[in-house]
Structure 1
Amino acid sequence: MNLYEDIIAGKEKLSLIGLGYVGMPIAVAFSKKIKVIGFDINSEKIELYKSGCDPTKEVGDEVIRNCAVEFTSDERRLREAKFHIVAVPTPVKFDHTPDLEPVESASRVLGKNLTKGSVVVYESTVYPGVTEDICVPILEKESGLKCGVDFKIGYSPERINPGDKVHRLETITKIVSGMDEETLNTVASVYEIVVEAGVHRAESIKVAEAAKVIENSQRDINIAFMNELSIIFNKMGIDTKAVLKAAGTKWNFLQFEPGLVGGHCIGVDPYYLTYKAETLGYHSQIILSGRRINDDMGKYVAENLVKCLIKAEIPIRHAKVAILGFTFKENCPDTRNTKIIDIIKELSEYEIAPVVIDPVADIMEAKREYGIDFYALEKTSDIDAVILAVAHNEFKNLTKDTLDGLYNLSNKKKILLDIKGLLNKRAYTEPEYIYWRL
């Protein structure tokens, strides 16, 4: 019997290394069909999973409680598995160069516990060449085994969209690749156990790696174009959302909107591609231009808030500003690489310390990473300006009466920055409101 057949028969196990927003849902999906070991170095996270708690909110507490994943922080248990999936973050450093430490560290841990006959598949987003040129040597060094002889490798980029309950592992076509035809067949067969949408067999590992980074780079560039249009139309006194609604009536107009581009994918992946290009002597023109625009949008929002305060004749220094939403995207507790922090940092230059409200965000993570404490909406009052920053479901249903109750009644005007364009702007007009959106 081959490895795939052994896995199906329950004779071999699959391991998932890295149980975050991507890895945990993968482990849970596979556990419905085969034996799965879920490994993470964070023992506190493992204990949460064991207790039936899903801190990511990706699958929910009940699913975690009833799933068959063998959660562990004991790396030695990886020796029980023959098919390994590595799904750890690949962030960037302060200078926007790739930070490969998480994937390198995961490779070291796995290498120490790798057994003959194993297949290792990386899902972490990387630039072309990382799997074969960086990860394989680490696996070989730590295991004493030879790639291609004692173990095989593949790459299958993650496409899970955190917080998205429609586009899931099972419903998204999965790109798979392997170092040779036999490995490709094994990797494809294993993923086909859970991926109902089917798989696409890339012709090489580098092709699969490249496909992933351009997916998010393309989206980043399109959003950057929308953000640039927003800046231009704002100067013209034209509502960008109205323009996009009109342009969107053409059949081939791409439906993108301006916004803050954060998270650990779209705002990060382009830098992996441009980094690799620069090592080959090519300096990106379009990709980095888009990144610069998107990276500056937090500052742009803060500057427009200050202009609104001046227009409303409200003192800027120590102005009371409420920010509704802190996570990098709607309905997701993840605050990593959120661009809301850029707004907060810029406002601090004007000696404004905003009140941040987010009923969805991971409270401990926000405190640990940014030193941010959250406030309750119902206990917030006497506010000079409100920034509706994240399109959480909780905020989509806010009524005008609720928003009116947040403001300082002694001010002549209420300032409202609706970054996501959630509200009907006709309800928030002069002379009562100063309403602004991207």
Structure 2
Amino acid sequence: MREKICIVGLGYVGLPLAVEFAKKHDVIGFDINNQRVSLLKDGIDQTQEVTYEELKFSNIKFSTDPNDMSECNFIIVTVPTPITVDNLPDLAPLKSASMTIGSVFKKGTIVIYESTVYPGVTEEECLPILESTSQMRNGIDFFVGYSPERINPGDKKNKVSEIVKVVSGQNKEVLEKVAVLYESIINAGVYRASSIKVAEAAKVIENTQRDLNISLMNELAVIFERLDIDTTDVLNAAASKWNFLKFQPGLVGGHCIAVDPYYLTYKAEKVGYIPEVILAGRRVNDNMGRFIASTIVKKMIKNGIPINDATVSILGITFKENVTDIRNSRVVDLIKELKEYGLNVQVIDEFASKEEVAKEFDVELIDIKNAKTSEIVVLAVPHDIYVKGGWNLISRMVNPVKNIVIDIKSTLNSLEKPDNSILWRL
């Protein structure tokens, strides 16, 4: 059956979902960002998640007019759920979207939330807004479901249709309708959760689990640095056991792993429990920029490289490799720390927007061809262009006599390291 669907929020999650649904259904793509919608109409996706051809040959009706939602029997909400400067959930985008939807949707509509939240948000926060704004009765005039997004930005293999989708609904009938809708586009199949809260909790612990595993690796990296042991060598040796989980240390940023745990800890504290392990993991990961910066300075002193007037080149500022997304990038922590030590820092990233980086972080991006010769090069984000360039690229950037190369995610081949370079890996 061909459905009429509106996707609310056309970012990294909403746009690929809209494109996939448009292959089988009639889709309206709604966003409050006029520039974003205008570019999408021209076939341009600034996130680079969807190609020009996919946009131009889809039947998506892109719109900034909320009244277009009234045509639809399914409305899927994919707006961001960030945190505040105090690491508290910021539900403002979600509440605003709910108010907009409630003012225009028709009777019989099923509203499905995909935004990552703590257990209870859909039914305790969003549903009352839909009721009060629409003056309609939940469970009679309209219905709600929840299906957590599992988009992996930059991943061209594990796309929307190839990732199992968790679905839920406020009752069995709604659950089945939501499941059938997603089954029409998800080749990997759907998992029917027993309740909306279960689905919400499943999503938030997926990234919390990863955050904790990475925090363990980061803490081990700090320990092994003091023991003068290469962390990568240790992990490679440990990985020879069949059941070892080979997580890597690194800077944990972005809008998922570094954010979602705070949604869970917030709710846990609201019900009277202090989640010590989760919060400890968050502290470890949030302090890694400071640790890497201090390690760089110690390496410089140990190897006779003067700190005053030394130049550090940072390769990459997006939150992960091969994406344009700079939200919550922890590379910025490293940049700030290095500048506080008095080092000259130049930042290079072919994926990130110079305008967005300047506006968000007050950092000037430079072109790699204009980079000054550096005493230190930090491969912070292993975009393919840097990994493929390898030591040849690094060698063109550094002081030819003595230099230090910081390979945060251990992507350079240590066996190919030039004799004049000192390599350190997190």
TM-score, normalising length from structure 2? 0.97
- 1:320-353 deviations in whole A, cap 9, x for unaligned? 1110011100111100011101111111212334
TM alignment of 1:277-288, pairs within 5 A: 277-288=268-279
> In the alignment, which residue of structure 1 is the partner of 2:265?
274
1:31 aligns with 2:49: no
TM alignment of 1:128-147, pairs within 5 A: 128-147=119-138
Q: Would the aligned equivalents of 1:429 and 1:435 in 2 still touch at CA under 8 Å?
A: no
Question: Any idea what SS the aligned residue of 2:281 has?
Answer: helix
1:240 aligns with 2:236: no
> In the alignment, which residue of structure 2 is the partner of 1:320?
311
The structural deviation recorded for 1:169 is 1.1
1:311 aligns with 2:307: no
- 1:45-88 deviations in whole A, cap 9, x for unaligned? 00110011011111222211222111111111111111000001
Matched residues in 2 for 1:162 and 1:177: separation?
24
The structural deviation recorded for 1:285 is 1.6
Q: Of the candidates 336, 340, 350, which is equivalent to residue 345 of structure 1?
A: 336
Matched residues in 2 for 1:302 and 1:132: separation?
44
1:256 aligns with 2:247: yes
- Amino acid corresponding to residue 59 of structure 2 in structure 1: A
- Amino acid corresponding to residue 418 of structure 1 in structure 2: D
The structural deviation recorded for 1:406 is 1.2
Matched residues in 2 for 1:317 and 1:297: separation?
23
Q: Would the aligned equivalents of 2:386 and 2:393 in 1 still touch at CA under 8 Å?
A: no
Q: Would the aligned equivalents of 1:381 and 1:405 in 2 still touch at CA under 8 Å?
A: no
> In the alignment, which residue of structure 2 is the partner of 1:219?
210
Q: Would the aligned equivalents of 1:46 and 1:72 in 2 still touch at CA under 8 Å?
A: yes
> In the alignment, which residue of structure 1 is the partner of 2:171?
180
> In the alignment, which residue of structure 1 is the partner of 2:402?
413
Q: Of the candidates 349, 355, 361, which is equivalent to residue 352 of structure 2?
A: 361
Deviating more after overlay: 64-73 vs 81-90: 64-73
Matched residues in 2 for 1:87 and 1:393: separation?
29
- 1:367-402 deviations in whole A, cap 9, x for unaligned? 221122221212223212100011111011124333
The structural deviation recorded for 1:311 is 2.3
> In the alignment, which residue of structure 2 is the partner of 1:428?
417
- 1:159-215 deviations in whole A, cap 9, x for unaligned? 010111111110111000000011001100000111011100000000000000100
Question: Any idea what SS the aligned residue of 2:62 has?
Answer: strand
Count of matched residue positions in the alignment of Structure 1 and Structure 2? 426
TM alignment of 1:117-196, pairs within 5 A: 117-196=108-187
Deviating more after overlay: 117-126 vs 349-358: 349-358
The structural deviation recorded for 1:99 is 0.6
Deviating more after overlay: 178-187 vs 242-251: 242-251
Question: Any idea what SS the aligned residue of 2:158 has?
Answer: coil
The structural deviation recorded for 1:148 is 0.7
The structural deviation recorded for 1:309 is 2.0
Question: Any idea what SS the aligned residue of 2:397 has?
Answer: coil
Matched residues in 2 for 1:217 and 1:242: separation?
26
Matched residues in 2 for 1:321 and 1:399: separation?
17
The structural deviation recorded for 1:429 is 6.1
Matched residues in 2 for 1:401 and 1:210: separation?
46
Q: Would the aligned equivalents of 1:156 and 1:174 in 2 still touch at CA under 8 Å?
A: yes
Matched residues in 1 for 2:26 and 2:338: separation?
50
TM alignment of 1:368-383, pairs within 5 A: 368-383=359-374
CA RMSD of the aligned region, Å? 1.3
Q: Would the aligned equivalents of 1:323 and 1:354 in 2 still touch at CA under 8 Å?
A: yes
- Amino acid corresponding to residue 207 of structure 1 in structure 2: V
Matched residues in 2 for 1:128 and 1:61: separation?
37
- Amino acid corresponding to residue 166 of structure 2 in structure 1: I
Question: Any idea what SS the aligned residue of 1:398 has?
Answer: helix
1:205 aligns with 2:193: no
Structure 1 consecutive aligned stretches of length 4 or more whose deviation exceeds 4 Å:
none
Gap runs ≥5 in structure 2: none
Q: Would the aligned equivalents of 2:311 and 2:344 in 1 still touch at CA under 8 Å?
A: yes
Matched residues in 2 for 1:366 and 1:193: separation?
39
Question: Any idea what SS the aligned residue of 1:423 has?
Answer: coil
- 1:80-117 deviations in whole A, cap 9, x for unaligned? 11100000111111111111111111111111111111
Question: Any idea what SS the aligned residue of 1:53 has?
Answer: coil
Matched residues in 1 for 2:186 and 2:236: separation?
35
Q: Would the aligned equivalents of 1:381 and 1:408 in 2 still touch at CA under 8 Å?
A: no
- Amino acid corresponding to residue 154 of structure 1 in structure 2: G
Matched residues in 2 for 1:380 and 1:353: separation?
12
The structural deviation recorded for 1:294 is 0.5
- 1:230-262 deviations in whole A, cap 9, x for unaligned? 111111111111111111111111121111111
Matched residues in 1 for 2:394 and 2:317: separation?
18
- Amino acid corresponding to residue 45 of structure 2 in structure 1: D
> In the alignment, which residue of structure 1 is the partner of 2:425?
437
TM-score, normalising length from structure 1? 0.95
- Amino acid corresponding to residue 77 of structure 1 in structure 2: D
TM alignment of 1:103-114, pairs within 5 A: 103-114=94-105
- Amino acid corresponding to residue 382 of structure 2 in structure 1: A
Note closer, same or farther for the CA distance 1:413–1:107 as it changes in structure 2 (3 Å cut): same
- 1:129-157 deviations in whole A, cap 9, x for unaligned? 00000000111111111111110000000
